[in-house]
Every structure is written in C-alpha cells, then in structure tokens.
Amino acid sequence: MFLDRKDVEIWVHDLELRSAFWSVATGADVGVYLKHYLKLDLNWKTFDERTMDFCQGITLHHLPGHTDGLIGTEAFLWRDGIPQGWLARDHPAWFRSTQRLKQLVRTTRGRVIPGHDEGTFLALQKEASEQKEKGVFT
C-alpha cells in the first residue's frame, strides 16, 4: 500500500487536510478521520481553488457538503455515465455541488464517479488498460 511511501504525492483540498488533522487532534469527529493514515511526514499536497487542472485530462473540483474539502475528479474519458450518490452532511452545500456536477457533465459530456466505489474504480482501471492496449493512450 502507499500509506508509508513518502515519494507518493497525496492531493487533497486545503480545507479537507485542515479539517482532518483538526478532527484527529481534537477528537471532534471521531471515526470520520483516523489518526493512522493522517501522518504529518507524508507527501501532502493541497490546492485551495474551486477547480484545479491536475494534469492533462484530469480536473479536480472542490465539492463541499459531505466534508468541508471533498473533491470530485473530472476525467476526460471516451465513454460516459452518471452514477448517483446519496450521503450528505450539509444538504444546501451538497445540493449546490450536485447542480455544479450536473452542469459540468452537460458542458464536458463527462462522467461522475463516486469516490467510495471500488467497483467503478476497478471497471475504469480495466477500461483504461484496454484503451492503452488499443493505443488510445500514448
């Protein structure tokens, strides 16, 4: 796993990192953030913009509501689909974020991928491998 690798960059929104470390330090939100994976000496990288172009074809979007610094990843892929989420702590912020996601899907013809969905991740990983074998990615 990557939990002890200091050469791997861990990208999070600034508000998420602050909230996570504060929560662990004060015990304010027990169970949500766990001390064993919030190590100070890891290679944490943050951004504080609403949207960040992470690399070619991948954009990070700040979408608070579930947590203060939740981010969504927009990846330019050849195929689309819209899985739905359901868990929100701050309903007005969640609603605004959902509307923003819908607008991003309309304008980019993108796909929304839930952050906690292993099945979707594995399917995308397989899809990327197949596309690489076909020479779609260089």
pTM (two decimals): 0.56
pLDDT reported for residue 122: 85
Residue 83's pLDDT band (boundaries 50, 70, 90)? very low
Q: What is the DSSP letter of 33?
A: B
pLDDT reported for residue 81: 47
pLDDT reported for residue 2: 57
To which residue do tokens 């304010």 refer?
A: 28
Which residue pairs, CB below 8 angstroms and at least 24 apart, start in 111-118? 111/75, 111/77, 111/79, 111/80, 111/81, 111/82, 112/72, 112/82, 112/83, 113/73, 113/75, 113/83, 114/83, 114/85, 115/70, 115/72, 117/83
Instruction: Collapse the DSSP code of 38 into the 3-class scheme (helix H, G, I; strand E, B; otherwise coil) and give the result.
Output: coil
Mean pLDDT over the full length of the chain: 80
Express each pLDDT in 86-112 by its tens digit.
565 677 787 788 888 888 888 888 777
Higher pLDDT, 85 or 99: 99
Express each pLDDT in 59-81 by its tens digit.
899 999 888 899 998 887 655 54
pLDDT reported for residue 92: 75
Backbone angles phi, psi at 99, to 5 degrees: -65, -40
pLDDT reported for residue 71: 92
Amino acid identity of residue 69, one-letter, is: G
* pLDDT over threshold 90, residue 14: yes
pLDDT reported for residue 89: 66
